[in-house]
Amino acid sequence: MNICLVGVNHRTAPVAVREKAAIRTAKLDNSLQLLRAYASQGIILSTCNRTEVYTVAGEDSHAKAASLNFLQTHLDIPDTTLRRYTYVLEGDVAVEHLFRIACGLDSMIVGEYEVLGQVSQALEAAEKAKMVNLPLRHLFQNAIRTGRRVREETEISKNALSVSSVAVDLAARVIGDLGSCKMLVIGAGEAGRLAAKAAKDRGVSQIIVASRTRERASVLAAALGGLPISMNDLVEELNTCNLVVACAGAPHWLLDVCHVETAMRQRPELPLVIVDIAVPRNVAPAVAQINNVFLYNIDSLTQVSEKNRRQREGEVKQAAEIIAAEMAEFTAWWLILEVRPTVSALMKKAEEIRSAQLNKTLKKLRPLSDEERDNLVAMTKSIITRILQDPISYLKENVNRNGERTEIVSELFQLDVEQRR
């Protein structure tokens, strides 16, 4: 199985590295077009927890080197740093890894549902860019199906946390009762919606929603009884906020030291808690040095996420069993795919021989009626089918022999096998 993935994730790299590897949705199509120079097909999965490139190696192809070269060339990460934090998975290990991602087992917050949509979006983007063929398409479709099955057949996503809700929980640990808090949510996407909802559920007294456009902020604010503002009003709102959750999909810092220092001069005795769960980060790390400001990022959620994982150990075990079953089914499909080119080549050669020999014979015979000719053609085809029946069955029954049997058949029949993926 020649599936290969190269990536970085929350287990191997800190957010300072992951944010440089992150590929925003707006840039995904362009990145897929750039990937075309390195691989005939590929899918890029980029979330707050990971950036991964999935490819399929063809004959004499070096998928690992190609994917690494792509990342080295197009990411703003020094070569030594990239090699330190990247991992390479191939074959069954790569397949299982993707299945675990789709099921929420590889997430910082076990069971979170958002990642399943992100896997679907990664496949859709690759389809749109015409960068995906049968093997990767089937792999991702199976991963999505497995993710849905795990959520339907286990309780791993029952009352599941999200990164956004855990961010609010972290703030509550620092601040205490959130009932009298004024909270600013930066970003009106799904992460912002979840953060605002979690805050409302915890009784936050006032929620302010900031987005690139006031209209976008208004939709979320109206749904939760909050107030919308534009990004231009951030500093003014910081003057009176107790809590900020930043989760906007921006490629640059939305709050720097100057912004926060300006706000803190207006409220020097009032602490400000900022939880930045965006990747890339929305808040400059140096903000943490400002007096009475408590800055956390997505990696600060580790303690809460580990507790959540321990609480869901039973569901994780059930999910792993489902993944194993789905893995077996996918592997069987893949092995059949491996012998398909040999079977096609065998049938093609047999048909060429049958057709050529039949034409030679027809030239030696008296003129035949259409019915006689059709009967003769049918008879020769039937003979070929019966002769090939055993070799083809032999191939399909021995697909797990690492290509050994296909090589034997190819050599025996002198086949020209084309590996089409």
Residues assigned a catalytic role = 48
Amino acid sitting at position 148: R
Are the C-beta atoms of residues 203 and 178 closer than 8 Å to each other?
Answer: yes
List the beta strands (DSSP E) in 134-285.
182-186, 206-211, 227-230, 243-246, 272-276
Amino acid sitting at position 179: G
Q: Which two tokens stand for residue 295?
A: 């800055």
State how beta strands 87-90 and 182-186 pair.
Answer: unpaired
Q: Which two tokens stand for residue 224?
A: 């939760």
Are the C-beta atoms of residues 331 and 92 closer than 8 Å to each other?
Answer: yes
Whole-angstrom CA distances from 362 to 353, 359, 372 are 14, 5, 11
Name the strand (E) or helix (H) holding 259.
Answer: helix 257-264
Whole-angstrom CA distances from 186 to 38, 219, 228, 345 are 37, 14, 10, 59
The residues with which 295 forms a beta bridge, in sequence order, are: 274
Name the strand (E) or helix (H) holding 89.
Answer: strand 87-90
Amino acid sitting at position 258: C
Q: Which two tokens stand for residue 394?
A: 């032999």
